[in-house]
Amino acid sequence: MNSAHRIANLPPYLFAEIDKKITAKRAEGVDVISLGIGDPIDPTPDNIIKVLNEQSLNPDNHRYPSYFGMKSYREAVSRWYKKKFDLSFDADSEVLGLIGSKEGIAHISVAYVDPGDVVLVPDPGYPVYNSGTILAGGVPHFMPLTPENGFTPDLDAIPDDVAKAAKLMFINYPNNPTSAVIEDDFFKRVVDFAKAHEIVVCHDFPYSEITFGGYEAPSFLSTPGARSVGVEFHSLSKTYNMTGWRCGWVVGNESVIEALGRVKSNIDSGVFNAIQYAGIEALEGPQDIIEKMRGIYKKRQDIVVTSLKNIGIDVEPPKGTIYVWFPVPIGHSSASFATLILEEAGVVISPGSAYGPSGEGFARIALSVPDDRLEEAMARIKKAL
Ligand code: MLT
């Protein structure tokens, strides 16, 4: 059967491909350690699970949820922004519930991109920025993130005709996969650029709480003028170890929220209410999980950074995210290194090139296994080299 032209250029999803490799290796009897996907091994806090259990028993919650997220959930998101960033958002017009931020990121292109329109995509970047663009018939224009530019896009390097044709720009700090954070006026420059070229900015912010050494990640929407050009995507996945729950949101520019809500209400029927109640508990219940997870990830980060140093790869300990991004040893490509590590060590890492052409020469380790398994993985990598 012939599939639609629109999926001809759509690559298979990176982590679905990695899952296939893991399954095949495990079928061969290999004790695979996966440092591929950023999927916390640590459990969702009990108070959140308790709310899900209670709410799941209420028949009112068994019916269709609101298309836009329950009002009480949107209000909780709005209160979270007020408390954390002193920003006020109207829960009705400036907040929209999502089935995880990935879903909203994929659908925003449906709302804004016509065939042939350009979308500015960080390279390397979370694969969905690219695939959502392709699904909408858009043309991704990669903005290289390199060590030389602090892994932030060089906006002056975007050609004028590209900027003119661009409808959306994706940015993401703390950054996946490079772990870079924002420490200068980059967001301000993005606002100016977006205003000059009438571009909608989509800031992807799922690692806002996973920061180290006293660094606190700024919201893009704290930047003066940001609300007139953009939105911010977020999710409960990484902060509260809730990747499997699929519960996120987008906040910001009212007309963008309306457009994405219109797309979504025609496609999905929202998140199970009991999960949204659990989401409210996540945002407004005890927050000790945040410091706890920062400590856990810092320890794992130290294990990886020290082990890499021992094999001659020097990286600065990242200030954010659950990843370590590093240059592969000389003589290897990203793919050849990841393949060697899988074949010789039974360890899965993500090749940097899978995140875009500028990821070539790098690889990503996710800090998503317990310390002892991480130590074993790093020892196996050392031995394989
Ligand atoms: C990652 O590992 O980069 C992402 O968390 C995976 C995903 O969201 O699909």
- Read off the pLDDT of residues 335-358 as tens digits, 9 standing for 90 and up: 999 999 999 999 999 999 999 999
CA distance 169 to 182: 17
pLDDT at residue number 13: 87
Which ligand 1 atom minimizes the distance to the CA of 366?
2
Q: What is the pTM of this model?
A: 0.97
How far apart (Å, rounded) are the C-alpha atoms in residues 316 and 278?
36
Q: Which residues of the chain have pLDDT under 70?
A: none
Distance 301 CA to ligand 1 centre (A): 18
CA of 161 to the centre of ligand 1 (A): 32
Which residue's alpha carbon is nearest to atom 5 within ligand 1? Answer: 38
105-134 pLDDT tens trace: 999 999 999 999 999 999 999 999 999 999
* Residue 338 to residue 345: CA distance in whole angstroms: 10
Atom of ligand 1 nearest to the CA of 102: 8
The pLDDT score that the predictor gives to residue 253 is 98
CA atoms within 13 A on the CB side of 116: 2
**Separation of alpha carbons 56 and 274, rounded Å:** 5
Query: Would you state the pLDDT for residue 53?
Result: 98
Distance 338 CA to ligand 1 centre (A): 17
pLDDT at 14: 86
Query: What pLDDT shows up at residue 167?
Result: 98
Q: What is the DSSP pairing of strand 118-123 with strand 33-34?
A: unpaired
pLDDT at 10: 87
Residue 384 CB partners (closer than 8 Å, separation 6+): 340, 341, 344, 345
The CA-based dihedral angle spanning residues 214, 217, 218, 221, taken in that order and rounded to the nearest 10 degrees: -160
CA 215 – ligand 1 centroid, Å: 23
Q: How far apart are CA 328 and CA 326, in angstroms?
A: 6
Q: Is 21 helix (H, G, I), strand (E, B) or coil?
A: helix
14 vs 22: CA distance, rounded Å:
13
Mutate which of 126, 129, 175, 245 for ligand 1? The one with the most ligand atoms within 8 Å of its CB, which is 126
Which residues surround ligand 1 with Cβ inside 6 Å? 15, 37-38, 102, 126, 176, 366
Report how far ligand 1's centroid is from the alpha carbon of 23 (Å): 18
Tokens of 263: 């797309």
